[in-house]
Amino acid sequence: MSAITVPEAPERSSGDRPPLSAHTAASLLGRQVARPPVRLVHLGLGAFHRSHQLWHTALVDEGGEWGYAAFTGRSPSAARTLEAQDGLYAIATRGVDGDRVDLISSLVEAHDGADVDRLAELLRSPAVAVVTLTITEAGYRLGADGDLDPEDPDTAADLDALAQTGFVAGDAAPPLRTALGRLVFALAARRDAGAGPITILPCDNMPANGAVVARAVGAIAEAASPDLARWVRANVAFASSVVDRITPATTEDDIRSLAERIGVTDRGLVVTEPFSEWIIAGEFPAGRPEWERSGARIVADVEPYERRKLWMLNGAHTVLAITARSFGHTTVADAIADPRVREWVEEYWDVATERLSAPELAIGPYRDALVERFSNARIAHHLDQIAAETTTKLRYRIVPLLVRARGDGRMPNGCVRPIAAWVRSLRAGRRDVDAFGPRIDEALAAPAPDVTSSLLGILDPALRKDDALIAEVDAYVALSIPA
Ligand code: CS2
C-alpha cells in the first residue's frame, strides 16, 4: 500500500518534542514499500494534484507499480519542498469532526516545470503511460472560441521556439514557457524514441477538456512540424475527466498542528475534504492504474458530469467569490452561512438545475451535498483564492447558463446577479489575479455607457449586443446592495 495511515501519537505533545525538519521527516517516515517506477507524469504539481491524482493512485497501487513524476507550473517551490522530502507528504483529510492523516508515497520525482529535458527523457520511456494535467483553466492559453490563442505572448514565443527546433535526438530543449509547448516538445522526444502510444488526461475544470487539449496540442504540434502533428494524431489518446475535491492552500497553522500531532514538520502537507470524485472517459493504450478501485468512475462520456460539476459546484464558488466578499466574508463556509448570500446561490442553482435533469445526475442529493461540503467550517477555503481568474471561470461556469437562457428569451436573476456584481466590483476598482486584466482595463476605459457591454463582450461576444441584458446588469449595478 502506498497510502499509509499515520497513527495518532498522543504521548508526543508539542512541549515534549520539537517538530522535526522536512529532511528528517523523509527519513523518519521513510518509504514503507519500494519506490514505484515512474509510469505516470503530471504537469501542475500543486496542492490539488497531491490531494487527488496522487491520492487516488496511492490507494490502488498496492504492488508499487505506478510512480508519478510531477512538474510544477509557474514556481518551482513545491518541487523543491517535495524533493527535499523524497516525494513523501501527508494528506490531512478534514471532516466536520476530525482529521485523518495518510502518508502518500506515489510521488517519486518532483521537478521544476522549466526542466523540459527531464520531461522529454521521461516521455521517451515506453513504461510512461499517462500524462495528467492540472495547469488551471487559464494555463491552457485558449481564446474565447476554446482554441489555442496564438495572440498569447507566451504561446507565440513557444510556437517560434518549437518551429526553430530541429528535434534532433540529444539536443537540449529550447526555453519553453507554456505547459502545452513543453508537452509537445516531450511528445516529439517520445516519437523519436519509438516509445509508442500514450494518453494525455487533463484534470482541469474545463468543458470537454480532452477534446480542447487535443486541439491545442495538435495546433502546437502542427506549427512545430506537420510530421509531428501526424504522429500525435496516430499515437496520443486524449482522455477527458471531471475532478472534484475541495483543497484550499495549506497554511502554516496546518503544518504546525500536524507537527504537534505526529512530531514531523511536513512542508508538503495538503489539507482536503473527505469527498473526492474522478470521472474519466477515454482510451489508455499504454495502460493505467486501476483508479476505479479508489472510487474513480470510468464512463463513456463525461459531459453530463462535467456540466453538473462546473455549473453547480464551481459556478456556486464563483457566485460566492464575487458576491460575498463585500459583506466581509473571507471563506466559503462563512459566506454560505449568510442567508442573503445563500439565497443568491440557491437562485443560481435553480437556473443550473433546470438544465441538469438526467436522472443519473441525482441533482437533488448532489445539491444538498454541496451545501454540506461548503458548510464544513474546518476547511478554510478562501474566497480570494477562488476569485483568481474570475473571467475565465465565469466563461466556463456561469456564462453558458446565461447564454442558453437568453437564447430562450429568459433573463435568469440567478446568473445576472453575479455577473452584475462582477461588473460592479471591476468598476469600483477591485482587482484579482486575472489573465484578462489588460482587456478588462480596456473595457473600463470605454465611454461610460459602453463599459458594461464591453465587459460582457469579454465573457462572450454574443452578450456584447444584448441590450436587454446590458440594461438589467446596469440596473443591478446601480442598486445600493454591496457587490
Ligand atoms: C474552485 C475549485 O478555485 C476555484 O475556482 O471552484 O478549485 C474547486 O474548489 C475545485 O474544483 C473542487 O473540486
Encode pLDDT of 259-303 as tens digits.
Answer: 998 888 999 999 999 999 999 999 999 999 999 999 999 999 999
Model pLDDT, residue 481: 57
pLDDT > 60? residue 5 = no
Is the distance from the beta carbon of residue 198 to the nearest atom of ligand 1 less than 6 Å? Answer: no
> In the chain, pLDDT over 90 holds for what percent of residues?
87
Cα separation of 394 and 415, whole Å?
Answer: 10
Cα separation of 224 and 33, whole Å?
Answer: 42
Gyration radius of the chain's alpha carbons: 23
Nearest Cα to 37, choosing from 62, 57, 11, 66? 66
User: How far apart are the CA of 386 and the centre of ligand 1, in A?
Assistant: 7
pLDDT > 50? residue 427 = yes
Tell me if 223 sits within 8 A of 162, measured CB to CB. yes
User: How far apart are the CA of 248 and the centre of ligand 1, in A?
Assistant: 9
More confident call, 34 vs 318: 318
pTM over 0.85: yes
Model pLDDT, residue 262: 85
Nearest Cα to 82, choosing from 121, 122, 119, 42? 42
Is the distance from the beta carbon of residue 244 to the nearest atom of ligand 1 less than 6 Å? Answer: yes
pLDDT > 60? residue 6 = no
pLDDT > 80? residue 414 = yes
Residues in Cβ contact with 258 at an 8 Å cutoff, skipping those fewer than 6 apart: 90, 92, 101, 264, 265, 266, 269
User: How far apart are the CA of 322 and the centre of ligand 1, in A?
Assistant: 14
- Whose CA is closest to atom 5 on ligand 1? 386
- Whose CA is closest to atom 9 on ligand 1? 246
User: How far apart are the CA of 286 and the centre of ligand 1, in A?
Assistant: 30
Nearest Cα to 392, choosing from 451, 430, 440? 440
Segment 458-468 shows an average pLDDT of 96
Model pLDDT, residue 168: 75
- Here the cell at position 385 is 483564492
Is the distance from the beta carbon of residue 397 to the nearest atom of ligand 1 less than 6 Å? Answer: no
Mutate to test the pocket of ligand 1, among 275, 279, 313 (most ligand atoms within 8 A of CB): 313
The per-residue pLDDT for range 60-74, each reduced to its tens digit, is 999 999 999 999 998
- Whose CA is closest to atom 4 on ligand 1? 386
pLDDT > 50? residue 110 = yes
Mean predicted lDDT score pLDDT of the chain: 92
User: How far apart are the CA of 393 and the centre of ligand 1, in A?
Assistant: 10
- Whose CA is closest to atom 11 on ligand 1? 244
Is the distance from the beta carbon of residue 424 to the nearest atom of ligand 1 less than 6 Å? Answer: no
Is the distance from the beta carbon of residue 134 to the nearest atom of ligand 1 less than 6 Å? Answer: no
Which amino acid appears at position 469 of this protein? L
Q: Among the listed ranges 26-30, 87-91, 381-385, which one has the minimum average pLDDT value? A: 26-30
pLDDT > 50? residue 20 = no
> In the chain, pLDDT over 70 holds for what percent of residues?
92
The per-residue pLDDT for range 119-164, each reduced to its tens digit, is 999 999 999 999 999 999 999 999 878 899 988 999 999 999 999 9
Helices (H), 277-412: 303-307, 315-323, 332-336, 339-354, 363-374, 383-387, 390-397, 399-407
Mutate to test the pocket of ligand 1, among 204, 308, 317 (most ligand atoms within 8 A of CB): 317
Is the distance from the beta carbon of residue 319 to the nearest atom of ligand 1 less than 6 Å? Answer: no
pLDDT > 70? residue 483 = no
Q: Among the listed ranges 22-31, 315-324, 332-341, 396-405, which one has the minimum average pLDDT value? A: 22-31
